[in-house]
Structure 1
């Protein structure tokens, strides 16, 4: 039977507080972990193309760790091959389209103090709840839209491509990405993506089974913690929805869940089906073409919220150790 979905109504749904759990709030003015963003993007943009070899050596001397990460990630030559690196970077920086992107980067990210403040708050939460986890240096870089995020195995540094966050109205994006992706390619989304990437690196999927429910709830755990670490953000920002998408999901939550269960998708191990629920897309195809994408992650977060509200003795550390996702679902009392 086809489920009935309700169109968006002119009703104000309070996305900033719906489902948020405040019992994990801390005073971030105490024992603060301050973050200073390292501007590798600016250093690269200002590279002296007339004396590229000497300029590359200066950049390497100033940023030895991230320089190696960057070259390894975006180039095919070894970082130690200074002449080839210099030649490739000179060609990259002087390419007309890249020059346009770089000018926009310098405009949009002329001042990053607000971003540093938000990342510092998230790092303070991370250090409070998980003090043994590394707190990598944060770097901005430009790659001509070839890489969005760069990390290393030891998590000494995390780099994020500032050229991916120049605004949904930035004209060159329209020929590079799908329309549905544009809404999150703005300055406001950068810190959310960075902290989300960190958490997914620290807390990797470790279930013995690889069903939709396992993947949904793993992602739901990470989204729940991301919301804790970024308390000033409305929940639609955390999940990457605009307010219309969030309100549609909230309004149709019961119908969404009924679809997942009635179609017996919830315990499916079909990777293609799982991707349809979790991957970024214009809509979640098993549910409705009117829906936002990634509803599996959204439902996963809602189930985790229900679980944590019902089991108030469970700590964040204990939550992240759970890998029996069917048991988590059963103990959540989730009933939309």
Structure 2
């Protein structure tokens, strides 16, 4: 029998929370606990659409199932509103780490946009420092409870604003104090990576890694821009790259022809940070269908792309990384070896040093081995 915090790998008795995992695409303002929102809202007089944690969680899930990224993003008005003080940011970051650790995450990259947290007078640096203090609190508490976890901040610049260079400089300034990478987020269509070319130039000159949201609410041109203008090492979501893959069938056998863009991304091992539930909610995969089995994740996986599974926003999708892995395993018939491959993919794409990536890879393999041995013995 499972508890409310246990998610089984379909067809097995393996509890996915017990497996070591890597989370590459997880937004700080999309992972708040509903009760925390209620507590913080009371302190600032913010009116909420629900009065209990259960009802508020259900409200977020309902509002996030719009099929539109623009509508989906409106739910963040509430979460960011309670994250405008150092105390609020520190608490949210602290709990964020604890929730990742409880899910078995051993390396987590936590992305957020400091420019959205200055309404109460925090400077950009103060906001980053507050979040880092919370992350450190969470790591220390998790380790005291016997859990192993490390985390890093991904600093995001909002695509529609004109603060890209300022935010890139902020990220680089904190590279030795918890920040491991840069991102651009927000409304994708109409706001290409090229608008922030100066920011990406600064990052490149500083040898600082970037991931770019691309191929979620816009198509192949957005992905090209992420690579050419953004020098992206990873693509946030990237699911519409499937538009550059042509499938044909001959004598009952399916063949895939990759366009130049898809071929480049595959051959250069540029990571795709898919977030299956979120991609369904925002309509990112609408041209292929509206069920998990329609997600191009499996196409990428079967063709050998460096594809990963992520949560995007755990509050809005009512999910965890374990749940996402269970959903895709159920949809595509993945077994424990496939789940391991997905985690090794994520480890290889982490914004860590080569030595740290190798250590992370070893930890994942060691954590999976007892379960693989048990499966082999059956």
What TM-score do you get using the length of structure 2 for normalisation? 0.21
Q: Which has the higher strand share?
A: 2
Highest Rg: 1 or 2? Answer: 1
